[in-house]
């Protein structure tokens, strides 16, 4: 089934956040070309930059890491641990590990409040927010192509 077929039926609240099928991934790239200013073409990239890209890919391809970042981007507000657990399906142990890794990489900030029961919130850092065009591109691509 393609995405245009899905938009013709009534949507549940979960479905209503789906990207419109005509969202253009090329337009997303065009809108963020300024991010590529002063960045060498991938074929001309120095080895250090390739290493940094590989480190980023290693980090975000760990189980649930992309889902955590994506949920934080979509919420646009501080999110509690249990909300992330529900949204990503990660076990508490894995979620805790990923949040520690993302916090150590300065992609997620952790705010702890001195309350009982403990209250901790997470949100993307400015560094992570600069990945938003990549998420917009993936969102546009997913709206166009159904992987099922």
pLDDT per residue over 133-147, tens digit each? 888 888 888 888 877
d(CA 141, CA 135): 10
* Average pLDDT value for the chain: 79
Beta strands 119-124 and 108-113 are antiparallel
CATH 1.10.10.10 holds for 46-144: yes
First to last CA, the chain: 8
- CA–CA distances in Å: residue 40 to residues 1, 43, 128, 145: 39, 8, 21, 30
d(CA 30, CA 140): 13
Structural contact between residues 101 and 90, judged by C-beta atoms closer than 8 angstroms: no
Report, as an integer, the average pLDDT of 12-38: 59
pLDDT at 133: 84
Nearest to 85 by CA among 77, 93, 95: 95
Beta bridge partners of 110: 122
- Sequence-separated (6 or more) residues with CB below 8 Å from residue 82: none
Structural contact between residues 140 and 17, judged by C-beta atoms closer than 8 angstroms: no
pLDDT at 38: 73
CA pseudo-torsion sign 136, 139, 143, 145:
positive
The domain locations on the chain are 46-144
Q: Of 49-53, 93-97, 117-121, which range is least confident?
A: 49-53
pLDDT at 121 over 80: yes
Q: 23 pLDDT band (50/70/90 cuts)?
A: low
pLDDT at 24: 67
Which tens digits make up the pLDDT trace of 55-84? 888 888 888 999 999 999 989 899 999 999
């Amino acid at each position: 089934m393609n995405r245009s077929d899905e938009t013709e039926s009534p949507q549940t609240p979960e479905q209503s956040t789906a990207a419109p099928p005509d969202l253009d991934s090329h337009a997303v790239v065009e809108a963020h070309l300024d991010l590529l200013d002063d960045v060498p073409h991938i074929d001309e990239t120095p080895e250090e930059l390739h290493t940094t890209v590989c480190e980023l890919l290693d980090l975000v391809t760990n189980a649930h890491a992309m889902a955590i970042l994506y949920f934080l981007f979509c919420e646009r507000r501080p999110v509690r641990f249990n909300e992330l657990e529900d949204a990503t399906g990660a076990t508490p142990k894995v979620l805790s590990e990923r949040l520690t890794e993302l916090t150590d990489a300065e992609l997620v900030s952790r705010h702890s409040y001195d309350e009982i029961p403990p209250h901790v919130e997470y949100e993307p850092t400015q560094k992570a927010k600069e990945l938003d065009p990549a998420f917009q591109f993936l969102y546009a691509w997913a709206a166009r192509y159904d992987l099922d």
